[in-house]
Amino acid sequence: MSVYLHDIPLDEAKRRFDTALAEAGLSGVLGVEHLPLDENAVGRVLAEPIWARLSSPHYHASAMDGFAVRAAETEGAGPTTPLVLRVGEQVVWVDTGDPLPDWADAVIAIENTEPLDSAGNPAPDPRRPYAIRIRAAARPWQAVRPMGEDIVATELVLPAGHVLRPADLGAIAACGHTHVPVARKPRVAILPTGSELVPIGQPPKRGDIIEFNSIVLAAQVKAWGGEPTRFPITPDDLEQITARVREAARGHDLVLLNAGSSAGSEDYSARVVQRLGTLLVHGIAVRPGHPVILGMLHVDERAVPIIGVPGYPVSAALTGEIFVQPLLARWLGLGAPAPSTIKAHLTRKLASPAGDDDYVRVMVGKVGERWVAAPLSRGAGVITSLVRADGILVVPRGLQGYDADAEVTVQLYTPLHELERTLVAIGSHDVLLDVLAQHLARHDRRLSSANVGSIGGLIALKQRHAHLAGCHLLDPESGEYNVAYVRRYLPGEAIVLVTLAHREQGLMVAPGNPKRILSLEDLLRPDVRFVNRQRGSGTRILLDYALQQRNLDPAHIQGYEREEYTHLAVAAAVASGRADCGLGIPAAAQALGLDFVPLFQERYDLAIPRAFVDSALLAPLFAVLDDPAFRAQAASLPGYEVRAMGTQRLVQP
């Protein structure tokens, strides 16, 4: 039995789905609601155009407080030839908004008149004079809002498909309407499935997975104009899932069946769709998100589309963006979603499978005059890639990726004005960067960081892919940190090394240090499993230097070739039991409840091109480094010493 009907191209999958929707009469607005004209209509989508029933204003109205006149009777008035007009006979008082008398065609503002009493003296009440003296002639329709100045009866006020804003409600009311026709919100059922799932708030046991995909999917549906309903978790049981899908289809316009769409023994989604309707697609050439299911349910003589959403969170969110958002837009009468895009340069080489459309989430920043895009971790289960992403780029089928610095098109999630205040940090990982990001946010700056190791950060500076690079590179010959490497990797560049902190490095071990790992020599023991940092990282260079000084052969270290990209990733490997120890910083050990064996102290610098040091963009960075609150928070972390924080050294070309 085939586990997938076909792993078909995305455009073919969309075509099949669209055809089935059209045949079921589900290609347009699902229904119309006539809402009272009040604040609850904001954000809803007009299902029909709004035509003006009344003109606005629907009479000739005074635009200010003053006197209504016939313009022709003011001719000849001037500074030296004032003209006196009798109130009641030639002029009448009008307030702003009052209708003009039928005979009047202009208004003279009160401040441009001299109110007189019957004796020709200044009137005690300027609003009730006997006469007025004017020293300038009035123009026809001066200070008058003519009928229909804003809206003329029968004209189009707002088109169908318009998303209502607060000001729109006023225009609709002004032209004579009391209710507004809006598209009915699509009702979307979200069904999480899986015997391994537990609800939020229930402490997970080993093997349990906290169910949060339904929250993300429901939030997407709500943001896109639908009404989500989250159903309880259904265990991996064909009969129970079938019953739950049937129940959901009876009261909803769309069913999102989450997980169970792959080819495992307990993946029932495709069979459920076949039982209750037509399976259109099972498997799409998209990464992440291969095992997407598209189908039509037939329940109680109703056709209800169903999407089998993969269980991995990144795949689930992407499925929502590719299929759910356009469908909801169509049902609301909106045009196809059109995200804003920019051209950006990739900060590293990007490899992709040639047979799939590859969706890659990226961080984005502006370095100098160029936009840059740093690809994020690409695992289908890496939920943090959704959190950190500023946008997404699509590598089309047929391409095997892009070279570093290639110009690509990025569809943005983050507004441009936020990206323009982003500091891009590429280099060595340190937990202080997260604390720094928190403090920079208070100065209207974002810090986006990518962890590629110290040398990778210096290369990023050379390629103009970052504003700053964290580095802690020990030069074996001089014993100095970072200077020699800056000169080697950035020849001809003026770089300022700004000290962030001095910090300890050592071995992170399991609580209680059950294997009594106390030195680098212990790494060569056959019962010790080590996890390393990647080549080019400062921690890896420090380790290799220390091993060489002690004449210790890395080939005898079990796990030396196994690499992680951050201190926290190394700590996680030890905490999970995948390794017995790894070299890192005490703050990472403390974060995951590990013990720490101190071995070294090193200096961690921020390498910054001199051209950026005095820029307005980076000014808040130096303010934070001088902030006593930030220094105190950094000093409170285990293994950090901050007396040299903010010290600058210029490395000349």
First to last CA, the chain: 66
Q: If you average pLDDT over residues 118-139, what whole number do you get?
A: 93
499-508 residue pLDDT tens: 999 999 999 9
The rounded radius of gyration (Å) of the Cα atoms in the chain is: 35
Q: What is the pLDDT of residue 266?
A: 59
Q: What is the pLDDT of residue 56?
A: 87
DSSP state of 644: T
Q: Is the peptide bond before 140 cis (omega within 30 degrees of 0)?
A: no
| CA 264 and chain centroid, separation | 33
Smallest Cα–Cα separation from 195: which of 313, 311, 320, 317? 311
Local confidence band at 2 (pLDDT 50, 70, 90 cut-offs) = very low
36-58 residue pLDDT tens: 999 999 999 999 999 999 998 99
Residue 356 has pLDDT above 50, yes or no: yes
457-481 residue pLDDT tens: 999 999 999 999 999 999 988 889 9
Q: What is the pLDDT of residue 562?
A: 95
| CA 84 and chain centroid, separation | 67
- In whole angstroms, give the CA distance from residue 180 to residue 176: 11
Average pLDDT score, the chain = 93
| CA 316 and chain centroid, separation | 16
Residue 4 has pLDDT above 70, yes or no: no
Q: What is the pLDDT of residue 65?
A: 95
Q: SS3 for 263? A: coil
For residue 624, what are its two tokens?
């934070």
518-548 residue pLDDT tens: 999 999 999 999 999 999 889 999 999 999 9
395-426 residue pLDDT tens: 998 888 999 999 999 999 999 999 999 999 99
Residue 381 has pLDDT above 60, yes or no: no
Local confidence band at 325 (pLDDT 50, 70, 90 cut-offs) = very high
627-637 residue pLDDT tens: 999 999 999 99
Residues of the chain with pLDDT > 90, as a percent, come to 85
Residue 265 has pLDDT above 60, yes or no: no
- In whole angstroms, give the CA distance from residue 422 to residue 412: 14
Q: Which residue is associated with the tokens 């999917």?
A: 217
Question: CB of 367 within 8 A of CB of 386?
Answer: no
Cα–Cα distance list, 484 to 433, 481, 493, 597, 607 (Å): 23, 8, 13, 29, 12
Q: SS3 for 374? A: strand
**What residue ranges define each of the domains in the chain, with the CATH number in brackets?**
10-27+186-331 (3.40.980.10), 32-57+149-183 (3.90.105.10), 61-145 (2.170.190.11), 341-420 (2.40.340.10), 463-651 (3.40.190.10)
For residue 337, what are its two tokens?
């979603």
Q: What is the pLDDT of residue 341?
A: 95
Classify 636 in phi/psi space as left (phi over 0), alpha (psi -120 to 50) or beta: alpha
Q: What is the pLDDT of residue 627?
A: 96
Q: What is the pLDDT of residue 18?
A: 96
- In whole angstroms, give the CA distance from residue 534 to residue 531: 10
Q: What is the pLDDT of residue 1?
A: 39
169-216 residue pLDDT tens: 999 999 999 999 999 999 999 999 999 999 999 999 988 999 999 999
Q: What is the pLDDT of residue 264?
A: 54
Q: Is 172 exposed, middle or buried (0-12, 13-18, 19+ CB in 10 A)?
A: buried
338 compared with 439, residue with greater pLDDT: 439
Q: Which residue is associated with the tokens 């016939």?
A: 70
206-251 residue pLDDT tens: 889 999 999 999 999 999 999 999 999 999 999 999 999 999 999 9
Threshold 0.85, pTM exceeds: no
Q: What is the DSSP string of 234-249?
A: B-S-HHHHHHHHHHHH
